[in-house]
Chains A and B, each alone.
Chain A
Amino acid sequence: MAAGEVCVTGLGLLTAAGDGVAATWERVLRGEPTAVVEHDPGPVHLACRVAAFDQARIGAIRARKPDRSTELAVLAAREAVADAGWDTARWDGARVGVVVGTSSGNAHTHEVQHRALLDGGPQDMSPFAVPSTLGNSVAAQLSMDLAAKGGCLTVNTACASGATALGVALDLLRAHRCDVVVAGGTDAPLTPYYIAGLDRVRALSQRFDDPAGAPRPFDADRDGFVLAEGAGMLVLERSDDARARGARPRARLLGYGAASDAHHVAQPCPAGSGLTAAIRAALHDAQVTAGEVGYVNAHATGTPLGDRIEAAVLAELLPHRPAVSSTKAVTGHPQGAAGAIEVALTVLTVQTGTMPPNVNLDQADVGVDLDLLTRPRTGPVPLALTTSVGFGGHNAVLAVAAP
């Protein structure tokens, strides 16, 4: 165990695939898609929604009227903290940090309050409109809910936000600015503005006659991603601290790499140079070689261009052909939550030695030369990578190792 090494002691997930870590993991391994066709709000679209849950689980929290993205994050964070064996009434909150990645956080509340303002004037706006929609509000709510009084940050790298949050958390722990960090991502963008706006970008799958067949990461017939909601939160600690308190690390977070394409507001750089740089940086940070990577949980969302570029980058940097899968055919694409959910799934992969399959992969696209799993594969996975890419050219990669 290297000095300053950081491990994952707790996981929390609330996704379209399931309520909780166990349910999500089970459905991801089973490979059962979640997309459904919706007509409201228009235009007609596919969606992967988190199933309804008992609102009493949220309780009365200080946000008063939390946005759905906040609710999802609170529930996932509570699960992660309990999984880590922590009692928030007992930890030294001053040493506990929170880092939340969110891309369109609080979108629903923002849109509802803007409508109230336009329709009824200022007096019809809730006094909670601004405090509930500022970019920091999910992280602030988590700090209150968890009595976490250390650094409390929000990061936004669009669809890489959740992965970036974990990279920032890793840095906070290595620098001894915190002893525990609750970090992850959340988004609930199934709102009129984001559905219509992403439809206008032509980013969304139009497979309305076969919703279960969408999205189709790496498949020749892919036509876009499916917008989803969800949250993934993790508890990170330095490994020596975790062991000293008798915690059971699920995995080690060995390295983080980030790079920007500096290319385009929505399209990835055709050469994949940012993603390449981020993967190399993560391997360097982890002090491992590319040949040690046994599995990659790919960002691949099912868009024609993005998947092709990512496949080419992975094939070039990892010529020994490690197993690769995208779990988005089951979870959909929950934007800023995606990276954190996929780090959590990668933690489960290295911990259990079970690699999840690609789903809706009938025929890999021409030029995609990867060992793409079409059913779960078992075997030791000492080292795995997970990639995340966001609008604006953000790339974030984490290296995860077995405990």
Chain B
Amino acid sequence: MSFAEWKPVLVSIGLSEDEVTAEATREEAGLDSLALMELSLVLRQRFGVVVTDEEMHEATTIAEVVELIDARRAG
């Protein structure tokens, strides 16, 4: 799935439509530590994709977060 396909998921956990861009850092997009945990929960429950909070913390930008999710989904 592309960034455009994952963006609605990021917005659904309460991030701003405007702030969620591929280039944005996690901080700029508002993806703080609690939001990362919420994202992990949603990914597991709604998509069956398991990404740990620790792995999420490694990603710097939203593009990297999406890349990580896609990699896990493919795996």
* A63 to B, closest residue via Cβ: B14
CA gap between A124 and B45 in the complex, in Å: 8
Task: List residues of A (110-137) whose CB comes within 8 Å of B's CBs.
Answer: 123-124, 126-128, 131
Distance in angstroms between the alpha carbons of A131 and B32 in the assembled complex: 14
CA A65 to CA B30, docked complex, whole Å: 13
Given A59-B16, A63-B14, the answer on whether A127 and B37 have CB atoms closer than 8 Å is yes
Within 8 A of B (CB), among A7-64: 59-61, 63-64
* Chain A residue contacts of B16, Cβ below 8 A: 59-60
Q: Would you call B24 an interface residue if the criterion is a C-beta within 8 Å of the partner chain's C-beta atoms?
A: no
Q: Which of A61, A123, A131 has the most CB of B within 10 A?
A: A123
CB distance from B55 to the nearest CB of A (A): 16
Tell me, in angstroms, the Cα distance from A59 to B19 when the chains sit together: 12
Q: How far is the CB of A346 from the nearest CB of chain B, in Å?
A: 36
CB proximity of A225 to chain B, nearest CB, Å: 34
Chain B residues with CB below 8 A from A65, complex form:
13-14, 38
- With an 8 A cutoff between CB atoms, is B63 at the interface? no
- In the bound complex, do residue B34 and residue A127 qualify as a contact, i.e. CB atoms below 8 Å apart? yes
Q: Tell me, rounded to whole Å, the shortest Cβ–Cβ distance linking B38 to chain A.
A: 6
Q: List the B side residues contacting A131 at CB < 8 Å.
A: 34
Whether A64 lies near B35 (C-beta < 8 A) is yes
Distance, CA A124 to CA B41, complexed state (A): 7
B residues 20-52 near A (Cβ < 8 Å) are 30, 34-35, 37-38, 41, 45
Q: Does B15 contact A (CB under 8 A)?
A: yes
Residue of A nearest to B12 (CB): A65
Please indicate which of the listed interface residues A60, A64, A128 has the most CB atoms of chain B within 10 Å of its own CB: A60
Q: Select from chain A the residue with minimum beta-carbon distance to B17.
A: A60
B-contacting residues of A (Cβ < 8 Å)?
59-61, 63-65, 123-124, 126-128, 131
B interface with A by C-beta (< 8 Å): 11, 13-17, 19, 30, 34-35, 37-38, 41, 45
Seed contacts A60-B17, A123-B41; 14 additional CB < 8 Å A-B pairs: A60-B14, A60-B15, A60-B19, A61-B14, A64-B13, A64-B15, A64-B38, A126-B37, A126-B38, A126-B41, A127-B37, A128-B34, A128-B38, A131-B34
